[in-house]
Amino acid sequence: MKSATSYKAAHYEDTSFEAGFWKGRAIDKQIGGSEVRLSNYWISEFLKSDFRTTSALGTRRLGVALREAARKSSDLSVKSEIAAVVTLASGLNGESFSIDQFQDRFGLSDAAKNAIRNELTDPRLSSEQFEFNLEEFKLQVPYRSVELDTGVVLSAHSGEFEEVFSREVIDDAGQIVRFSTEGKVITEKLGKAK
């Protein structure tokens, strides 16, 4: 190694050279820039490797954890944080990260992080890297709904909710909001009470 601050290294190991799933680590301290692009190039193209967690599985795990955490939480601020990151996630297609990195990227509160982590079958899964797949994510959290104390429920595709509904805070405490939207009526539905 010529420099302690500028190098590439990879290490893989398994109990057998013939079969098994080799686990490894790769480090690239030579190229500056995005950690995400760097890891995709170094792992996928140069080393011809892939993450242990598949894109579909990791994305499904994240989507289900977000959906269930929002559904089960009684804390409105946690629900709002989760709804916001679901909307923002539509811009992450193809990026690689772990659930922990996803939460840190959006600055989620400890309460929101704990709510999400509690929905994983094993909390250690939150550190596994995967490539985010937007289509799989949309299957897990297709809609976002807001229910008001007036009994009104507003729903839209999760990635488009903020575009479909305008939100205006109309009291000093920030508790009363007015939503508005425009569109052509295409159907009306009746249903049973919750």
When pLDDT is cut at 50, 70 and 90, the band that residue 43 belongs to is low
State the DSSP code for 117.
H
Instruction: Average the pLDDT over 1-17 and give the result.
Output: 69
Percent of the chain with pLDDT over 70: 75
Give me the pLDDT at residue 177, please: 92
pLDDT, position 120? 95
Rounded distance between C-alpha atoms, residue 181 and residue 175, angstroms? 20
Residue 34 has pLDDT above 60, yes or no: no
pTM of the model: 0.68
Q: At what angle do helices 55-72 and 110-117 cross, to 10 degrees?
A: 120
Q: Helices 76-88 & 110-117, crossing angle to 10 degrees?
A: 80
Q: Residue 30 above 70 pLDDT?
A: no
Q: Is the pLDDT assigned to residue 51 strictly greater than 90?
A: no
pLDDT higher than threshold 60 for residue 33: no
Helix (H) or strand (E) holding 179, with range, is strand 177-180
The 10s digit of each residue's pLDDT in 71-121 is 999 999 999 999 999 989 989 998 989 999 999 999 999 999 999 999 999
Q: pLDDT band for position 50 (50/70/90)? A: low
Q: What does the alpha-carbon distance between residue 57 and residue 133 come to, in Å, rounded to a whole number? A: 10
Token pair listed for 192: 């049973």
Neighbours of 103 (CB within 10 A): 22
Instruction: Provide the residue ranges of all domains of the chain, joining segments of one domain with +.
Output: 26-141, 142-194
Mean pLDDT value across the chain = 84
Instruction: Residue 39: name the closest of 52, 55, 25 by CA.
Output: 25
Region 149-167: mean pLDDT is 88
Q: Which helix (H) or strand (E) holds 67?
A: helix 55-72
Residue 178's pLDDT is 94
Q: What percent of the chain has pLDDT over 90?
A: 44
For the ranges 40-54, 63-77, 122-136, the lowest mean pLDDT is seen at 40-54
Tokens representing 45?
A: 């193209």
Gyration radius of the chain over CA positions: 21
